[in-house]
Structure 1
Amino acid sequence: MKVKHQFSDSIKLIRNIRTTGTIAPSSQALIRALLKPIDFETSRCIVELGPGNGCVTQALLRRMHPRSQLICLEVNHEFADQLRRFEDSRLHVYTACASSIRSILDQLQIGEVNHVISSLPLTLIDDDTVSRILVSVGDNLRSGGRFLQYQYSLANYGDMKPLFSDVKLRFTLRNMPPAFLYDCVK
């Protein structure tokens, strides 16, 4: 059954490759590496951009504090509907562009967030939109908050350097395809 579900997810990802930027769900190794910098005991609000089929979302929910909130912004209606099926009161799913973080936080009466996690395929998004997304991320992170992004290339590394006080880069081979992990501190 698990193989059938993974195959179905891969078909959805391939069918939506222009918005997902991938052909396979993120590996558990990638997810562990991506989330490693998060202190789940103190993080009360996390935003996830481009959650897709929810493999990172599920890992976040498993590790998050009971009083934390996870806000997911997904442009693909099919993926957003799939995420809404996760039964967890901490999860808020919006079918919205990643640059609309502020308006959603205002609806929820949230000032700043601890972390923004992103699976967005930035290399497939036009430069102006990438710039708006990254500025929105920086504007809504608390001081010392982290923007955690994975990519399959270094194409957007230069976009992050001027917006964050510290940008660290890691790499994992344990994903298909292998991925770069950006850890950007505000």
Structure 2
Amino acid sequence: MKKELFFVRFLKNPLKIGAVFPSSRFLATRMIEKINFKTAKVIIEYGPGTGVFTKELLKHQQKDTLVVLIESDPYFYQKLVEKYSGKKNIIVIHSSAENVEEILKDLQITQVDYIISGLPFASLPKSVTQTILEKTKRVLETDGYFITFQYTLYKLADFKKYFPSISLKKEYRNLPPAYILSCINKK
């Protein structure tokens, strides 16, 4: 997708899109570096947008690993369906990350190994952030990872409330530079 189209989607709904340009391949590589693809059975991606992280996930996906993409923007959802429809072990869902428990119940999945997120938590209402983080914690396996990136550490305290064990890295080769938060689910 061209950067101009991404920018138009941002202008139409800045609270949901949260970025002016798609994430860089450098950020995508950093986002997946904690994933053990040899053992992962289920990986969810919140807000895949143009699929920059999805592309990296699928490069390393094992044949028995299920990847579930949850996208709320109708345009991005349609583009993801066009790209991945009919591909083995990839499911594209048009919904919000707030509905992750219901989505997994419908798919008959009880726990998830990894959740990657491109959601703009800094621009989401506090109640939405809390709902997503609470449900994310519940669906993750013990010692599973919730990995997200943020342009600021504005909501770091919210993440720590649900995930006290967080490692932080910064990727400068992104516009703008981004923090990668790797949150381990300790129960």
Q: TM-score, normalised by structure 2?
A: 0.93
**Whole-angstrom distance in 1 between the partners of 2:125 and 2:164:** 24
What is the number of residues matched between the two proteins?
183
For the pair 1:121 / 2:120, whether they are aligned, the reply is yes
**Whole-angstrom distance in 1 between the partners of 2:91 and 2:21:** 24
Q: Is the 8 A contact 1:51 1:72 kept in 2?
A: yes
Q: Which residue of 1 aligns with 2:177?
A: 178
Unaligned 5+ residue runs, structure 1? none
Q: Which residue of 2 aligns with 1:134?
A: 133
Q: Which residue of 2 aligns with 1:154?
A: 153
**Whole-angstrom distance in 1 between the partners of 2:12 and 2:29:** 26
Runs of 4+ in structure 1 deviating by more than 6 angstroms, as ranges, are: none
**Whole-angstrom distance in 2 between the partners of 1:66 and 1:11:** 36
* Structure 1 position 177, deviation (Å): 0.3
* CA RMSD across the alignment: 1.4
**Whole-angstrom distance in 1 between the partners of 2:11 and 2:33:** 28
Q: Which residue of 2 aligns with 1:57?
A: 54
1:1-186 superposed matches below 5 A: 5-87=2-84, 88-186=87-185
Q: Is the 8 A contact 1:14 1:22 kept in 2?
A: no
Q: TM-score, normalised by structure 1?
A: 0.93
**Whole-angstrom distance in 2 between the partners of 1:128 and 1:11:** 27
CA shift digits 1:52-82 (9 cap, x unpaired): 1111112111111111111111111111111
Q: Is the 8 A contact 2:31 2:53 kept in 1?
A: no
Amino acid at match of 1:40: F
